[in-house]
Chains A and B, each alone.
Chain A
Amino acid sequence: MSDKPRKFKGGVHPNDSKALSASKAVVNAPLLDKYTVIINQHIGAPLEVVVKKGDVVKKGQLLAKATGFVSVPLHSPTSGTVTALEKCPGPACVSVPSIEITADGNDEWGSPFEPIADWQNAEPAALKQRVSDAGIVGMGGAGFPSHVKLSPTKPVDTLILNGAECEPYLTADHRLMLEQAEDVVLGAAILARILGLKTAVIGVENNKPDAIEALNKVAAKYSVKVQGLRVNYPQGAEKQLIYALTGREVPIGGLPMDVGCVVQNVASAIAVYEAVVKGHPSIERITTVTGEPLVNPGNWRFRIGTPISKALELAGGINVQPAKLLLGGPMMGMAQNSLDVTVMKNTSGILLIPVETVSQYTSEPCIRCGKCVTACPMDILPATISQAVENGRFDWAEQLNVLACIECGSCSYLCPSRRPLNQHFKRAKAEIMAARRKQQKK
Chain B
Amino acid sequence: MTIILTSILFAAGLGVLLAVIIGAAAKAFAVESDPRIETVTDMLPGANCGGCGYAGCADFAKAIVEGRADPSLCPVAPPESAGRIAEYLGITTQEKEKVIAVVRCAGDCAATVRSPYNGVGDCRSAALVAGGGKGCDYGCIGFASCARACPFDAIEMRDGLAVVHPELCVGCGKCVETCPKNLIILAPAAVDVHVYCNSPEKGALKRKVCKTACIACRKCVKAADSEEQMTIKGFLVETNYSSPPLPDLVEKAACPTTALRLATKHAAGAYEGVSK
Contacts and interface: CB of A to CB of B under 8 A. Distances in A.
A87 B130 contact: no
Nearest to A337: B115
Contact of A431 (B120, B124, B130, B205): B124
B30 interface: no
A352 to B, nearest CB: 14
Contacts of B205: 87
Contact of A94 (B118, B120, B137): B137
Nearest to B128: A426
A334 interface: yes
Binding site of A, secondary structure by majority: helix, strand, loop or mixed? mixed
Interface residues of A, number: 17
A317 interface: no
B125 interface: yes
A420 interface: yes
A336 B120 CA distance: 17
A424 B119 CA distance: 10
Contact of B120 (A334, A360, A420): A420
A95 B137 contact: yes
A93 B125 contact: no
Interface residues on B, range: 10 to 19
B81 to A, nearest CB: 31
Interface in B84-142: 114-115, 118-120, 122, 124-125, 128-131, 137
Given A337-B114, A337-B115, A92 B130 contact: yes
Contacts of A337: 114-115, 130
Contacts of B114: 337
A430 interface: yes
Nearest to B114: A337
Contacts of A23: none
B201 interface: yes
Interface in A36-95: 87, 92-95
B118 A360 contact: yes
A427 B131 contact: no
Nearest to A434: B124
A335 interface: yes
Contacts of A335: 115, 129-130
Contacts of B201: 87, 95
A111 interface: no
A337 B119 CA distance: 15
A435 to B, nearest CB: 12
A360 B118 CA distance: 7
A293 B118 CA distance: 21
A423 interface: yes
A398 B122 CA distance: 20
A431 B180 CA distance: 11
B131 A94 contact: yes
A337 B129 CA distance: 12
Interface string A336-379: 01000000000000000000000011000000000000000000
B131 A423 contact: no
Contacts of A360: 118
Interface in B29-82: none
Interface string B10-22: 0000000000000
Interface in A277-303: none
Interface string A244-277: 0000000000000000000000000000000000
Contact of A427 (B115, B128, B137): B128
A177 B96 CA distance: 69
Given A93-B130, A337-B130, A423 B137 contact: no
B131 A93 contact: yes
A437 to B, nearest CB: 14
B206 to A, nearest CB: 11
Given A87-B201, A94-B131, A95-B137, A423 B120 contact: yes
Contacts of A94: 131, 137
Contacts of A334: 129-130
A95 B131 CA distance: 11
A424 B125 contact: yes
B115 A426 contact: no
A424 B130 contact: no
A86 to B, nearest CB: 9
Contacts of A93: 130-131, 137
A335 B115 CA distance: 10
B141 to A, nearest CB: 11
Interface of A: 87, 92-95, 334-335, 337, 360-361, 420, 423-424, 426-427, 430-431
28 contacts: A92-B131, A93-B130, A93-B131, A94-B131, A95-B201, A334-B129, A335-B115, A335-B130, A337-B130, A360-B118, A361-B118, A420-B119, A420-B125, A423-B119, A423-B120, A423-B125, A423-B129, A424-B125, A426-B125, A426-B128, A426-B129, A427-B120, A427-B122, A427-B124, A427-B125, A427-B128, A430-B124, A431-B124
Interface of B: 114-115, 118-120, 122, 124-125, 128-131, 137, 201, 205
The 10 lowest CB-CB distance pairs between A and B, nearest first, are: A337-B115, A93-B130, A427-B125, A94-B137, A93-B131, A420-B120, A426-B128, A423-B120, A337-B114, A423-B119
Given A424-B120, A427-B120, 13 more contacts: A87-B201, A92-B130, A94-B131, A95-B137, A95-B201, A335-B115, A337-B115, A360-B118, A420-B120, A420-B125, A423-B119, A423-B128, A423-B129
